Every structure is written in C-alpha cells, then in structure tokens.
Amino acid sequence: MSFHQLIIVGNLGRDPELRYAPNGNAVAGFTVAANRGYKNSEGEQVKDTVWFRVNAWGRLGETCIEYLKIGSKVLVVGRLNPDKGTGGPRVYARDDGSMGASYEVVASRVTFLTPHDGAPAKEGTKDQLQEEDEIPF
C-alpha cells in the first residue's frame, strides 16, 4: 500500500466553483497560489509562485463554497492527482509565452486562515468548527 500527503499554505487565485459529479456528489474547485521568497546569488529578492488546482468533495466542498473567496488564505491537506495524459503536473503556456505548471490536489482537509466577517481565525476545518458551534451548551 502506498500513501502520500501534501500540505499547502497559500491564497485562493479565484472564487471557488461548485459542480456535481454524475453520481450527485458535490465538488468545489479552486486554485491556490503558494508563494516563496528568497534572494538569488546576486542578492536580489525573487518571488516564486507554485499553483495548485484543489478539489474538495462532499460537505468539505460545500463548506469551502460558503466561506472562501479570491484572496482567502488557506491550509490544504490532500494528495496529488497526476495529469492522466502525462503523469505529472498540467503544463500550459502563459500569455507572455513562458511556460507554467499547476498541480491537482484532492483535499482531505481545508483550514481557513483568513478570518470570516471580522472574526478571529480558528484552527481546524470548517466542518469541525460547525460541529463544535452546534453544541447547545
């Protein structure tokens, strides 16, 4: 048996979109930009961005639709899903002619790091937070 897990912290590049699989299961799709800054050998500051296409299924996806929007900071835990044609990331040409790549991730957990409606950010997934909030005492 094989297992891998990926952890990403970044910002949404667009609002999430909800769609439904043929079997009726909900899936939310959104992109996450993970940025890394460093100084190159000449001492110049360089910003490197890696894009991830995230799919969150079922209740997790529905919760993402409700609370996330472009620019939201998230922590995503999931697994890589390779491109079926190449076995690697999806490669594309940018408007300026340079090449880029994005990686597909199937989320098992999404933690919202941007406060919602001015409330302080909470730890855990939104599903967990909603269950805690429903306790009557």
Note the pLDDT tens digit of each residue in 55-91. 999 999 999 999 999 999 999 999 998 878 888 888 8
Is pLDDT at 134 greater than 60 in this prediction? Answer: no
Quote the domain boundaries for residue 115. 6-37+45-133
- 84 within domain boundaries: yes
pTM, two decimals, is 0.75
- Please report, for the domain that includes residue 20, its CATH number: 2.40.50.140
Distance CA 106, CA 19 (A): 15
**How many separate domains does the chain show?**
1
Residue 118 confidence (pLDDT): 54
Is pLDDT at 13 greater than 70 in this prediction? Answer: yes
- 29 within domain boundaries: yes
- 1 within domain boundaries: no
The DSSP secondary structure of 58-84, one letter per residue, reads HHHHHHHHHH--TT-EEEEEEEEE--T
Residues 40, 48: contact at Cβ < 8 Å?
no
Of 24-33, 50-59, 62-71, 91-100, the range with the lowest mean pLDDT is 91-100
Residue 109 confidence (pLDDT): 96
